A and B are shown apart, each in its own frame.
Chain A
Amino acid sequence: MKLTINGDVKEIKDGIVLSELLVIEDVEQPDMVSVQLNDEFLTKDTYATTTLKEGDEINFLYFMGGGA
């Protein structure tokens, strides 16, 4: 199926859940990304149960912060 991931259209195997997609996208610490699925924020406790479907648009951004 085709998914749009951070603006890029990619062919991804059917039936995967969001947490699997983040692994494919080399996200080593899923807790440190915010995710929007079709412009709606997902809570982190749903990453493993959210099944993606053809045409979904997924954007993920890393937590951004630091010190001094």
Chain B
Amino acid sequence: MIKIPQSVYDEIVAHALKDTPIEACGYLAGINGEVKYAIPMKNRDASNEHFSFDPQEQFDAFKKTQKEGLRLISVYHSHPETPARPSEEDIRLAYDPNVSYIIVSLAGETPDMKSFIIKNKTVEKEEIEIIKD
């Protein structure tokens, strides 16, 4: 399970809506499965079907959270036109076994957010608990 404060949940959705039709993406910083804040990242692909992070920006985020005693516990990205499920490309490129993968779909009438653990190309759904803040 991953615990996400309501304000962070809202921020992720707002990021997805702002960037659509381009895929929005970012890290979630936290510890012990509890998210503290979101780190919006630039989508280097600037595409409605792909995203990738810039390595320098990744290290900046990593070092910031390290200093704060936090970790990068999740990666989020949006699917502007497709459901909140990992695509074949999402699964193939899920190299980091230490994070959960959150997808925000804008394909429906309301945004839909789901979280997944992807290891060795196997996908497992992860429950999201929204924390009131």
Binding site for B on A (CB under 8 A): 6-7, 29, 32-34, 36, 41, 59, 61-68
Which 6 A-B residue pairings sit nearest by Cβ, starting from the closest?
A: A67-B89, A65-B52, A62-B96, A66-B90, A34-B55, A64-B53
Chain B proximity of A21: nearest CB distance (Å): 17
Please tell me if the beta carbons of B77 and A61 are within 8 angstroms of each other in the complex: no
Binding site for A on B (CB under 8 A): 23, 25, 45, 48-53, 55-56, 58-59, 62-63, 66, 75, 77, 79-82, 86-90, 93-96, 101
Q: Which residues of A contact B80 (CB under 8 A)?
A: 68
Please tell me if the beta carbons of A32 and B95 are within 8 angstroms of each other in the complex: yes
Q: Which residues of A contact B48 (CB under 8 A)?
A: 68
Q: What separation, in Å, do the CA atoms of A54 and B87 have in the docked complex?
A: 43
Q: Which of B93, B95, B101 has the most CB of A within 10 A?
A: B95
